[in-house]
Amino acid sequence: MTRGQRAVERFNSGWNCAQSVLWAFHEDLHLPAELAARMACGFGGGMARRQEVCGAVTGGVLVLGMRHGQGEKRDSAAVETTYAKTQEFFRRFEARCGSCKCRELLVGCDLMSAEGRQKMKDDLKQRICVPCVETAVAILESLANE
């Protein structure tokens, strides 16, 4: 099973998009699964269902930060690398999915309402969200190999 398929399996089992993307990389990042799930929890649904930046994207940004980011030691090269990789991640995601914003991806669906959440589960999850999770993972894998 590919990493993308594992992320989708996780997503389809009830975890949010951000959690599923971060979880797909947690072992490589030496990040305990429990911590990965907790860290990404609030990012689902475009940040707590506010439909801002897509959770698959924010999960990806967390992965990039873990891989390349500045830690306690001030390291401007790490900051520049992380920003460059993150900008490229956004560019590729937008090119493949059409937007990095949950609200634009789930046109006409309000995740703050029960009806909107049901619409997402009944239709949009498989049609829109699953491909976004797969795409985020594929882009992260590609960036790791460059």
pLDDT digits (tens, 9 = 90+) for 97-127: 999 999 999 999 999 999 999 999 999 999 9
In this structure, are residues 22 and 135 in contact, taking their beta carbons and an 8 Å threshold? no
Would you state the structure tokens that stand for residue 131, as one six-digit string?
Answer: 């491909």
Residues 6+ apart with CB under 8 A from 90: 57, 100
Cα–Cα distance, 54 to 61 (Å, whole number): 11
Query: For 53, phi and psi rounded to 5 degrees?
Result: -70, 130
- Number of domains making up the chain: 1
Helical (H) or strand (E) element with 41: none
User: What is the domain range of residue 112?
Assistant: 3-144
Give the tens place of pLDDT for each residue, 76-99: 999 999 999 999 999 999 999 999
Give the tens place of pLDDT for each residue, 16-69: 999 999 999 999 999 999 999 999 999 999 999 999 999 999 999 999 999 999
